[in-house]
Structure 1
């Protein structure tokens, strides 16, 4: 089998390299995996993207590439839509035409954040900014391609939130600021679930592949993929700083010096959803139907369980 992973230099792309390496290391019949980043394939270039797909002929396409500069998207809408909507459409069309499996990643930003409680997969999309609109369009085009093509292919769109991993992210920014400042002011009225890129890659492959790295059959559609529980940016900042202190890192800021503020006190070019909580019941039902308790246990992992070792590893590697 051939697996093509886009976005190899991003947090999720790096997580897939690690996870696929672990899963295939002991297999006698290993899949052929190609990882591509922007230098190997500019996904905004339709001709180059199409040529790569036709040349490599993958049975599994994992699109971990994305335009994620939320504020810059307000002035770079053409690029945001090219990467987040048109490129996934081309990948989906290839997968549908060639009976392949397509994994794609979307975001809580497709919602306006005004719902009380947890969002479901079929809740109305109503994005606030260009970034969210480009990701919502990507979702719609993927579904439309598969619906309009007679195909044995399948797709999963994983909606997630607040991703962190090997790269720049909120946690690393907070820890950098905590070394520089004695006090921080962090938003405390936006709610969501911080999601480890490693965790997300593992959950994704749990759906797509069996223990022999063969493709599973699953129902195509959108799946919310976030750890259990919820917090705010303020809550995440406090936990990250405390975890760094517990790991022996010297900081100027302590959790008690992280002041909660309202989102209106920290205006940004692009609006953010106030509520990013998403139900994962749909994915639970799939894993429960397979009777795989280990996959259910991983899906039920509390959001904070992965944050502490993540920060400890940053400290160990001298990255704080």
Structure 2
């Protein structure tokens, strides 16, 4: 039986993995929230990884607030770069394969067509830069790793765009959503299955991979889909936001190609 450690287990992906874990009886899971395992603390990682010989570590721990990262970059880099470096170092020592979740925001969005794993990275915000640095630490330290870039995660867990739009619509609020950014909304449950199937099948090669639900949409288009899916389209006002601005720059087109 393969032992699997999941860090950041209380986040969207971590909870999505917990939800389907029983469907993989050949895998022995240990779930650790960020409070139980702080990847910025080497001792915390060593203590958790020493409890058994883990075959895999799925790193779902991350600083993900894109807006706040611009205001507190040191916190973003502490988790997304230094924390990942800590985890990679100890996983290598313990001969544990690291599966790390990364982001479409490592790209600048200027390509205009879907990004391949071989395309040059060029993040335009602190969050993307911190995640890219984490990727680079893994690549420089390890051979046995998977870096999985994904995008626009949503699920029934935590805070995300889908839940926010649905809540506001059910409250009867008017919605104003930008169509200036295009990406691939991805259900965290589908990403969870992809990751666990990777472990169960062991057919993929080490390195960087892209996973999304493949359908590209703007945020406005995604909002339309959410309303339609919940029989709310036409029942609330949805308009395209004019002069939409965020503190953090975001890639205009960050569709990932597998």
* TM-score, normalised by the number of residues in structure 1: 0.75
Are residues 1:234 and 2:212 paired?
A: no
1:157-179: CA deviation from partner (whole Å, max 9, x where unpaired):
11000001122100111112213
1:254, distance to aligned residue in structure 2 (A): 2.8
Where in structure 2 are the equivalents of 1:59-208 lying within 5 Å?
59-146=55-142, 154-165=144-155, 166-208=157-199
Tell me how large the CA RMSD over aligned residues is: 1.8
Residue 275 of structure 1: aligned partner: 253
1:228, distance to aligned residue in structure 2 (A): 2.2
1:218, distance to aligned residue in structure 2 (A): 3.5
Native 8 Å contact 2:106 2:132 kept in 1: yes
1:95, distance to aligned residue in structure 2 (A): 2.6
Q: Which consecutive residues of structure 2, in runs of 5 or more, have no partner in the other structure?
A: none
Q: Using a 3 Å threshold, how does the CA distance of structure 1 residues 217 and 50 change in structure 2: closer, same or farther?
A: farther
Q: Using a 3 Å threshold, how does the CA distance of structure 1 residues 135 and 255 change in structure 2: closer, same or farther?
A: farther
* TM-score, normalised by the number of residues in structure 2: 0.92
Residue 3 of structure 1: aligned partner: 4
Q: Determine which structure has more spread, i.e. the larger CA radius of gyration.
A: 1
Moved over 4 A (4+): none
* CA distance in structure 1 between the aligned counterparts of 2:241 and 2:36, rounded to whole angstroms: 42
Count of residue correspondences? 256
